[in-house]
Chain A
Amino acid sequence: RKEVEQDPGPFNVPEGATVAFNCTYSNSASQSFFWYRQDCRKEPKLLMSVYSSGNEDGRFTAQLNRASQYISLLIRDSKLSDSATYLCVVNWIGGATNKLIFGTGTLLAVQP
């Protein structure tokens, strides 16, 4: 099983649609979770951290389910500018190692 697994997409949605991405992780000892956004040929940028209680930032809602070891990102009222690759990131803890593991990303294309 991959350490962090995401559906690569692409997700093609019309403007105004609601879209959800899921991500699963294999290390139950993981403590920190993030969603990053990466535009084409640009560096990844932090979109939001994911907290156990769930958190919302404008049109974006992130949720964590520790029992099932998955993280979700919900985008409401999609904009053209939301088109990007969304990376699920998990803080992986194994022995003396503590590092962030990135998923392959989910590509979102919002259509006019």
Chain B
Amino acid sequence: ETGVTQTPRHLVMGMTNKKSLKCEQHLGHNAMYWYKQSAKKPLELMFVYSLEERVENNSVPSRFSPECPNSSHLFLHLHTLQPEDSALYLCASSTTSGSSYNEQFFGPGTRLTVL
């Protein structure tokens, strides 16, 4: 496997379900990200992990819970979602140079539908 992979690619869940999205990067990067992309909107940064520590949390509702067990893996745990949470969830990774983040490489995304 190379690059950034995400599973599952498609997910349909009810509002009371609990599910997790998984991301894995094989690029040796030290920063990983979760983004949400809704129709007609720009990518919205949700979480940033640098060296496995969360450094950014853009006021995301607590029904989204990230986990970064190591530098290659990132999870997004979902609980009690709302229909408006339906979107494409993209994972990305990059290197960091000092305090700057460099080019990000994206996974194929998980298309989530909340019924």
The reply to whether the CB of A100 lies closer than 8 angstroms to some CB of chain B is: yes
Chain A proximity mask over B84-115: 1 for CB below 8 Å, otherwise 0 = 00000010000000011111111111000000
Residues of B within 8 A of A34 (CB): 103
Residues of B within 8 A of A49 (CB): 103
Q: Chain B interface: which size bin?
A: 10 to 19
Are B45 and A99 neighbours in the complex by a CB distance under 8 Å? yes
Residues of A within 8 A of B102 (CB): 32
The reply to whether the CB of A45 lies closer than 8 angstroms to some CB of chain B is: yes
CA distance A4 to B43 in the complex (A): 11
Rounded to whole Å, the gap between the CB of B72 and the closest CB of chain A is 18
Instruction: Tell me the nearest residue of chain B to A34, going by C-beta.
Output: B103
Residues of B within 8 A of A45 (CB): 106
CA distance A99 to B99 in the complex (A): 10
| Given the contacts A44-B43, A104-B42, A105-B42, A99 and B48 also touching, CB distance less than 8 Å | yes
Query: Which residue of the partner chain, among B40, B90, B101, B109, contacts A99 with CB atoms under 8 Å?
Result: B101
CA distance A17 to B107 in the complex (A): 32
Instruction: Tell me the nearest residue of chain A to B91, going by C-beta.
Output: A43
CA distance A104 to B43 in the complex (A): 7
Chain B proximity mask over A44-74: 1 for CB below 8 Å, otherwise 0 = 1110010000000000000000000000000
- Which 10 residue pairs of A and B lie closest in terms of their CB atoms, listed nearest first? A43-B106, A102-B43, A104-B42, A102-B42, A46-B103, A44-B106, A43-B108, A98-B99, A43-B109, A43-B90
